[in-house]
Amino acid sequence: MNRAASAHFVFAAMMITSCAQQPTVRVLAQTEPHTGLIEGTVSYENGGPVDGATVYASPMDRAIGGIIPNAKTDRAGHFAISHLWFGKFAVGAEKLDEDYPNMTEQFYSDGKFETVTLTSRRAAASVGIRLGPKAGILTGTVVDAITDAPLNPCVDFTRSSNPNNFLSGTGLVNAEYRVLVPSDTDVNMKIWHDGYKPWYYPGSVDKSERKPVHLKPGEIRTLNIRLQPGNNPAEAGCETPLCFPNCRP
């Protein structure tokens, strides 16, 4: 899967962001030598603790090719991410089973995020994270318009207000899909696959006819997408069936 901004991987094309409220950060007493610790709590918008959220500490001053350091919250909403190197981190939470996206990803947070800097003198910190808002949800299928054969296409989501803030790649929308998009936000959506004409929301092969999708928090919209056979690599933005972050609409 090639995903421009995965919930578990940092991608060079995306900037890391944080939540709207500024964190309350306090230095803790001590942690292991030469390693850092970020702990804290995650709460819902009503202040209640969030059980089972995943909290990420995404590095902001270096690239990482593996799994982003993370931890789960307990029943009290508490988490602790240990064995961190010294440096600057974006800290945010997700709870996908309740449609809360990873807010360390710029596409979802739009630059509103918590930040923590760990140093040899400040090796531990505590952060309070407010979960939300919920994302909008797109569900449906993607098939060949002639044969009804299922297709696993490339997809490109961009914020209408900032085309450089995008989520793009394979694996986000498959033959049967359920994908989160920022709520209360205009988002352009484009689907394409090698050998097919590109599809623009709400259902045109003509880019000039595209319109943004706009969903409320928790709103579900079903899109059963039928791709028309054809081949226009220049219009699609890719010359292969694979998608890459620099492959733009």
pLDDT tens digits, one per residue of 35-59: 899 999 999 999 999 999 999 999 9
Domains in the chain (CATH in brackets) are: 26-130 (2.60.40.10), 136-236 (2.60.40.1120)
Instruction: Read off the pTM.
Output: 0.78
Summarised one tens digit per residue, pLDDT across range 139-159 is: 999 999 999 999 999 899 999
Residue 33: asked if its preceding bond is cis (omega within 30°), the reply is no
Query: Higher confidence at residue 90 or residue 65?
Result: 90
**Residue pointed to by tokens 């609409």:** 249
Please check whether residue 71 is in contact with residue 83, taking contact to mean a CB–CB distance below 8 angstroms.
Answer: no
The larger pLDDT score, comparing residue 3 to residue 176, is at: 176
| Cα torsion 1, 175, 96, 134: sign | positive
pLDDT at 65: 80
